[in-house]
Amino acid sequence: MSDLKLRVKEMIIERLKLEGMTPDQIEDQAPLFGDGLGLDSIDALELVLGIEQVFGVKIEDEAAGLKAFKSVQALTDFIAEHTKG
Amino acid sequence: MTDIPAHLPHRYPFLLVDRVLEREPGVRVVAEKLVTNGEPYLQGHFEGRPLVPGVLLLEMLAQAGGFLEAGTLHDAAIFLAGVKDARFRAPAFPGDRLRLEVTSEGAFAGLMKLKGAVTCEDRELCTATLLVKRL
């Protein structure tokens, strides 16, 4: 697992208080909302704030959120893309 | 001076903000509520020993949080979506001038996270994190 992806998973677990869950239990391709981790809109706000705090990346609107929250992989790519340079 | 009834749709007996002292929409609001003996809920909470119910302190913070929104909330569907880490450290009594301070922690997709504190003469009575949803 890439270092960034691991940090993303740890941030998700910490921010959403998914107690008892470990990073390797979160599948890279599983959707964060709906069927996958089953997160809701309140969790989305927590993640947006967490991503901003931990990685310094802002998710500006719902369109960006839709893209970034597709899966852990998508979120990791989104963060990597926005922290370049 | 902010026109409170023009901004909030709440009315007696459930309008729980009397004055807005400081206001920076989207960032921070400081408001005030004077607790009087005439508050209807004090009649039964409790008989002969009136004190403001803790949940109403949270409601005061939520209403103060309404002033973080730039425009009037009269036609807005806005709801309390969550309360986290609420602490009640001391009760509020009739005669107390309550200072309601709320700051925005951030917003996404119509949902805003606020940090709030109710203080009275520099004593902290209540602190909480509120989530407010605007549809």
The token duo for A67 is 């893209």
How far is the alpha carbon of B100 from chain A, nearest alpha carbon, in Å? 24
> What confidence tens digit (pLDDT) does each residue in B33-69 have?
999 999 999 999 999 999 999 999 999 999 999 999 9
Looking at B7, B10, B45, B74, which residue is catalytic? B45
Q: Do B81 and A42 touch (CB under 8 A)?
A: yes
Would you call B74 a catalytic residue per the annotation? no
What pLDDT score was predicted for residue A35?
Answer: 76
CA distance A80 to A60: 16
Domain that includes residue B117, residue range: 4-134
CA distance A15 to B103: 20
CA distance A62 to A77: 17
Question: Model pTM?
Answer: 0.89
What pLDDT score was predicted for residue A14?
Answer: 94
CATH code of residue A39: 1.10.1200.10
- The mean pLDDT of chain B is 95
Cα torsion angle, B75, B81, B85, B90, sign: positive
Question: Could you report the average pLDDT of every consecutive run of 10 residues in chain A (85 residues)?
Answer: 92 92 92 81 92 95 91 96 81
Residue to test with chain A: of B108, B112, B132, B134, most A Cβ within 10 A: B108
Domain count of chain A?
1
What pLDDT score was predicted for residue B1?
Answer: 65
Domain count of chain B?
1
What pLDDT score was predicted for residue A40?
Answer: 86
**Residue B73: pLDDT over 90:** yes
The helix/strand/coil state of B73 is coil
The model's confidence at residue B112, banded by pLDDT at 50, 70 and 90, is very high
**Residue B134: pLDDT over 90:** no
How far is the alpha carbon of B108 from chain A, nearest alpha carbon, in Å? 5
Cα dist from B50 to A25, B17, B43, B86, B88, whole Å: 52, 19, 7, 21, 16
CATH code of residue B11: 3.10.129.10
CA distance A65 to B58: 30
Domain that includes residue A34, residue range: 3-83
| Chain A residues close to B108, C-beta within 8 Å | 44-45, 48-49, 59, 62, 65
CA distance A38 to B131: 19
